[in-house]
Structure 1
Amino acid sequence: MSSLTLAKAKEILSKHTTEAHLFTHAAAVSAAMGAMAEHFGEDKEHWEAIGYLHDVDYEKYPDEHCHHVRELLADEGVEEADIRAIISHGWGITTEEAEPLSAIEKSLYTVDELTGIVQAYALMRPEKMDGMELKSFKKKFKDKKFAAKCSRETIKKGFEMLGMEPGDVMQCCIEGMQAHKEELGF
């Protein structure tokens, strides 16, 4: 059992982050990770905490993202496995240090970018997250001009790593974010 709780993750992130959009992104990834934990029958709060804390070094070190995670978290008593999980979401993007190997690492790698597309789609819908359906989301996902900054290549690599149907991961992401729509501002 990991010592990292969602409350602890929120406390740590607030020491290193000030920008509102980064807290919203942290909450979105946390929500999606909770849904992925349920899919895998894992500890939901632990996965949510990892998701919430995944960009801990981003605001201070945007050009060296994932390279300062260990120094920021080791002093907080965060376990090495959790530090590795957080670093792994930057594998092949900002770092070569930690290839995603476990279900939690592969999930974080995948949903980090995927939540951005879900969020962008929710923002353009009058009903936001309510009633968002997989079929209509998939159309937006296929449109490379929509939420263009979110890497479809990374997300698709994540689907392959997870060995899951893309629609199943998308559904987890949507449902997780729907469950936290107030916190996400929807």
Structure 2
Amino acid sequence: MQLTRDKALTLFKEFNQSESLYTHALSVEAVMRYAAGQRGHDPDFWGIVGLIHDLDYEKYPEKHCLKAAEILRERDWPEEVIHGVVSHGWGICSEVEPVHEMEKVLFAIDELTGLITATVLVRPSKSILDLEVKSVKKKWKTKGFSAGVDRSIIEKGAALLEMETADLIAMTIEGMKTAAAEIGLAGIE
């Protein structure tokens, strides 16, 4: 099977109508593409996995990751894609551990993109283009800010990648900047 972004996007949209979930998928895709390029891997492959990682979340939240594996297998998607998608829920809704570098990056940045988005949206500029790591770290420590983001998962992901949390935040910001307009974080005009 030839993997393409168009196929991944069509599949994602078949199972998801939520604009915020779509924007999240685009954010994760952008970071995955950026990280792959930085690490000498295939940005298209990493991006596709990032784009479809929450394939089942809207329709099957109680079976998140498990239903995605089922859907992808029914459509003959490669096992390496399925493992990547399922492993991003490690310790949350899946027992599949991230092993490949791509899987570790996905695990680490999934929650972090949400925290960064929330940080951008409370800034006067509403832009990721001028966002600094220190702003995210400040919001990280603010009790109650973006309370749905599990900081311990981000820390666990950074440890898996043997990265400092600040470096992971910086990489994620840079990746999200590559899609700033598409994800609605290019700022106010």
Where on the TM-score scale, by shorter chain, does this alignment land: which range? over 0.9
Q: TM-score scaled by structure 2?
A: 0.92
Deviates more, 1:85-94 or 1:134-143: 134-143
Question: Counterpart of 2:41 in 1: which secondary structure?
Answer: coil
Aligned to 1:30: 29
Report how far residue 26 of structure 1 moved. Answer: 0.4
Aligned to 2:81: 82
Q: Which runs of 4+ in 1 moved over 3 A?
A: none
What are the within-5 Å matches in structure 2 for residues 54-93 of structure 1? Answer: 54-93=53-92
Q: Is residue 131–residue 173 contact of structure 2 (8 Å, CA) maintained in 1?
A: yes
Between the aligned partners of 1:121 and 1:4, the Cα distance in structure 2 is 33
Aligned to 1:105: 103
Residue by residue, what CA displacement relative to the aligned partner does 1:58-85 show, whole Å, maximum 9, x if unpaired? 1111111111112211233310011010
Report how far residue 46 of structure 1 moved. Answer: 1.1
Residue by residue, what CA displacement relative to the aligned partner does 1:45-65 show, whole Å, maximum 9, x if unpaired? 111111110001111111111
Q: Is residue 3–residue 78 contact of structure 1 (8 Å, CA) maintained in 2?
A: no
Aligned to 1:115: 113
User: Is residue 50 from structure 1 mapped to residue 49 from structure 2 by the alignment?
Assistant: yes
Question: Counterpart of 1:68 in 2: which secondary structure?
Answer: helix
Q: Which residue, out of 114, 123, 126, partners 1:125? A: 123
CA RMSD of aligned residues (A): 1.3
Aligned to 1:156: 155
Q: Is residue 69–residue 85 contact of structure 2 (8 Å, CA) maintained in 1?
A: no
Between the aligned partners of 1:142 and 1:4, the Cα distance in structure 2 is 40
Residue by residue, what CA displacement relative to the aligned partner does 1:12-67 show, whole Å, maximum 9, x if unpaired? 10111111111011011111111211221111111111111000111111111111
Between the aligned partners of 2:135 and 2:92, the Cα distance in structure 1 is 29
What amino acid sits opposite 1:66 in the alignment?
A: C
Number of aligned positions between the proteins: 184
Between the aligned partners of 2:102 and 2:155, the Cα distance in structure 1 is 16
The alignment-based identity, stated in percent, is 41
Q: TM-score scaled by structure 1?
A: 0.94
